[in-house]
Structure 1
Amino acid sequence: MTTTQRRGRRAMMTPQEIDAFLGGQRTCRVATSGPDGRPHLSPLWFVWDGTALWLYSLVRSRRWADLRRDPRVAVLVDDGEEYGELRGAELSGLARRVGEAPRVGAPCLELDTPERLFARKYFGGDTMPHDGRHAWLRLTPDAIASWDFRKLPRRLRP
């Protein structure tokens, strides 16, 4: 994974800051490419395990169809209201399906950690409910670009 970036180094997050930020946010925006090349952007819940971003997607969605055809994806997680508070991370790479699709809960060792993290984050427990409509995608990012404008000197903020 590449976390270096040419522009905005002054506002770039450290790997530890990225981990804390991604661990604390609830919603990401997933960008895929449609069959005609047009982008498709959709919000989604996710978990970050320190290495990969795990997306729990409806299998009957445009996003799922796009990623089956072309696994390239960009994901944006951001936060902040005022300019000086803005922070975020863009992760890009290939999204790969993990486990059964749709997921009904068959044992899958690789999904133990993301399902536990997801259940705690969104359902307040350790048990992941399976509805037979969603499945897991794992994005191990090739690149991460990040920013935290709170790091900028006040004189550089509008």
Structure 2
Amino acid sequence: MSRRDQIRMTPDELTVYLDEQKVINVATIGPNGRPHLAPLWYYPHGSGIATWTYGSSQKAKNLERDPRATVLIEDGDTYDKLRGISIEADVEVVTDTLMVTQMGITLTQRYAGAKPGEPVPDELAGFIAKQAAKRIGLIFTPTKIVSWDHSKLSGTY
């Protein structure tokens, strides 16, 4: 078995990893043809991930022009602990304010430690709805996933 095969995460490991992590780095293609890289909070969504961003942001403009992105999620502070996922994805840009509001609620619940579907206080729901009017939702559907978990090498390289 190749080293590449040894460190690849299983589907279950990918699911757990996506649930554990908090920040994605999203690469889009800017108007000058160069990559534009930006960190975002996210939540697992179907076979991919979802988030929101300001509709006037550079990444939003880039995705309206070319709805493809590469997403990196990684952690580990020494070689033997490096783990990560690189996702090439088609991106759906969501502009429906009610859907964007729900996406904002899902993000807020995740980062506040609430369970999906728990009641949202009216004041918070109102705040998120106001934010949603300025934002778009982004749904990343993977076309290719590459993963690595160097801890599977048990200290041998």
Normalised by the length of structure 2, the TM-score is: 0.82
Contact 2:43 2:50 in 1 (8 A): yes
Contact 1:71 1:95 in 2 (8 A): yes
Shift of 1:119: 2.6
Which residue of the partner structure matches residue 151 of structure 1? 152
C-alpha distance in structure 1 between counterparts of 2:73 and 2:106, whole Å: 17
CA offsets 1:85-138 (integer angstroms, 9 cap, x no match): 1100011121111242xx4xx2x4x985x5554232113444362313222110
Matched to 1:84, the amino acid is D
Matched to 1:155, the amino acid is T
Matched, 1:55 2:51: yes
C-alpha distance in structure 2 between counterparts of 1:36 and 1:99, whole Å: 25
C-alpha distance in structure 1 between counterparts of 2:134 and 2:24, whole Å: 20
Matched, 1:141 2:154: no
C-alpha distance in structure 2 between counterparts of 1:155 and 1:85, whole Å: 12
Name the SS for the 1:17 alignment partner: helix
Contact 1:98 1:111 in 2 (8 A): no
Contact 1:19 1:50 in 2 (8 A): no
Name the SS for the 1:150 alignment partner: helix
Which residue of the partner structure matches residue 15 of structure 1? 11
C-alpha distance in structure 1 between counterparts of 2:135 and 2:3, whole Å: 37
Q: Unpaired segments of 5 or more residues in structure 2?
A: none
Which residue of the partner structure matches residue 110 of structure 2? 121
Shift of 1:55: 1.9
Normalised by the length of structure 1, the TM-score is: 0.81
Alignment of 1:1-158 (within 5 A): 8-100=4-96, 103=97, 106=98, 108=99, 114=103, 117-125=106-114, 126=118, 127=120, 129-130=128-129, 131=131, 132-156=133-157
Name the SS for the 1:142 alignment partner: strand
C-alpha distance in structure 1 between counterparts of 2:94 and 2:62, whole Å: 16
CA offsets 1:40-78 (integer angstroms, 9 cap, x no match): 101001111341210211111100000000111000001
Matched to 2:55, the amino acid is V
Name the SS for the 2:47 alignment partner: coil
Name the SS for the 1:9 alignment partner: helix
Q: Unpaired segments of 5 or more residues in structure 1?
A: 1-5
Name the SS for the 2:32 alignment partner: coil
Q: How many residues align?
A: 144
C-alpha distance in structure 1 between counterparts of 2:146 and 2:43, whole Å: 18
Query: Which one has a larger percent helix, Structure 1 or Structure 2?
Result: 2
